[in-house]
Copies of this chain bind each other. A is one copy, B any other.
Amino acid sequence: MRDTDKDIIRGLRLFADVEADKFDSLMMAAYAQRFPAHVDLIREGETADFLYIVLEGSVELFSTSHGRETSMAIVAPVSTFILAATIKDAPYLMAARTLEPSKLLLIPSSNVRTVFGDDPAFARAIVTELASCYRSVVKSMKNLKLRTAIERVGNYIIRLHDKSGKADIVELPFGKRNLASILGMTPENLSRAFGALQSHGIMMDGARIEILDRAALEAISKPNPLIDDPRS
């Protein structure tokens, strides 16, 4: 692995306080690799041989059952995925594929578990990361169960707006088909939701969204920090 990669990884909260020799032993076993877009990385049901970290690009986590498919999450840099399966040495509950050309770090699960046992700082970082993942899924589930389709779309736009530093125009970070699946609806329904929201403070133009009236958007979306706030 290249030293520049190593520096980036060292900077992650997950590894920040890991002892030097433990970190080196993890990195020795790990390797960074580039993948083209739309490549299958893992399949549901396989056992978790590696912990993955997205360094560049983005990865879709999705699940399938009897002919239906749904996106569970999109992982952007810099984040881990399938940490829980790695910890439990259990089969993946979600499949993963690249959405765009991506650079990933793969660390053998057994090494992760070993260092977890040897290095309390790493253990603490792992458990914090896992707790964050858990809370993130809980928020997704609240989003799905407590909101209508239009509210979900509206709040998604509000979050984009916040992330952009309240820019006048925000851009969808991936295709509407994927977004629809993440938000638990069909692409057609997402299209109509965007249409409906144009009377409530936004103006769509392809993947670009102009925020004209944030207050109106909030009025119909009813944001809730305990669902939307990425901190907490």
Instruction: Using CB atoms and an 8 Å cutoff, list the residues of chain A in contact with chain B.
Output: 44-45, 63-66, 68-70, 72, 83-85, 87-88, 90-91, 93-94, 116-117, 120, 123-124, 126-128, 130-135, 137-142, 144-147, 184, 222, 224, 226-227, 232
Contact = CB atoms under 8 A, between A and B. Distances in A.
Nearest to A63: B142
Contact of A87 (B44, B128, B144, B232): B128
**In terms of DSSP, what is the predominant structure of the interface of chain A?**
helix
Nearest to A44: B226
Contacts of A130: 84, 127, 130-131, 134
Contacts of A69: 146
Contacts of A224: 65-66
Contact of A141 (B90, B116, B117, B137): B137
Nearest to A231: B90
22 contacts: A63-B226, A65-B226, A72-B141, A83-B131, A84-B134, A84-B135, A84-B138, A85-B131, A87-B131, A88-B132, A93-B138, A93-B232, A116-B127, A120-B123, A127-B127, A130-B134, A133-B134, A137-B138, A137-B141, A140-B141, A141-B144, A144-B184
A65 B139 CA distance: 12
A82 to B, nearest CB: 10
A116 to B, nearest CB: 7
A144 B70 CA distance: 10
B117 A124 contact: yes
Contact of A88 (B91, B123, B131): B131
Given A65-B142, A72-B142, 7 more contacts: A72-B145, A88-B132, A123-B124, A126-B127, A127-B127, A130-B134, A137-B137
Contact of A232 (B63, B90, B222): B90
B184 A145 contact: yes
A134 B88 CA distance: 11
A146 to B, nearest CB: 4
Contact of A68 (B68, B123, B140, B146): B146
A132 B131 CA distance: 11
